[in-house]
Amino acid sequence: MQPTHSEALVAMYDRAPINKWFRPLLRIPEEGRAEIELTAREDFHHAAHAIHGAVYFKALDDATFFAVQSVVTDFFVVTSSFQLYFLRPVSEGLLLARGQVVSRSKRLYIAEGVLVDSRGKEVARGSGTFMPSSVELGPQLGYR
């Protein structure tokens, strides 16, 4: 049985070397939307014992990226810009990033994302612009 586009994207995400360290979970509930779930760990902390901003960025970039990639079925998408707003620190618990496509044209997609903590409090939000690259989606990317 041939996997769906969403299933192939999840497989590609799971095979990415960086995700062996972060251990996130990707869900694509519908076309144009994606969610990243990530457990905060002490090795994500900066010196003040809260999650480093790079973790916020990764969760939001991944959620918005895969929201866009869920509607682009032929080429690998790349982030061309990203704006991130840090709202409050997090030290522990589950983080959930939700991304959704809000605008698209022939070559440019805009997606917005919100990151919440385990209490449902918004801790960050961001928006990015994404473009299809010249790299075709396929087994060479872990897309299968």
- Report in angstroms the alpha-carbon separations of 38 from 23, 41, 105: 7, 9, 31
Q: Identify the bridge partners of residue 127 per DSSP, sorted by sequence position.
A: 83, 112
Which overall architecture, per CATH, does domain 5-141 show?
Roll (3.10)
Q: What mean pLDDT, rounded, does the chain reach?
A: 96
Considering only the C-alpha atoms of the chain, give the largest distance between any 2 of them, rounded to a whole number of Å: 49
- Report in angstroms the alpha-carbon separations of 144 from 56, 72, 117: 28, 15, 32
Per-residue pLDDT, 106? 87
User: Distance (Å, rounded) from C-alpha 88 to C-alpha 76?
Assistant: 32
What pLDDT, in 10s, does the model give residues 94-119? 999 999 999 999 899 999 999 999 99
* Domain chopping of the chain, boundaries: 5-141
What pLDDT, in 10s, does the model give residues 1-38? 568 999 999 999 999 999 999 999 999 999 999 999 99
- Report in angstroms the alpha-carbon separations of 24 from 46, 51, 137: 19, 15, 21
What are the φ and ψ backbone dihedral angles of 76, each rounded to 5 degrees? -70, 135
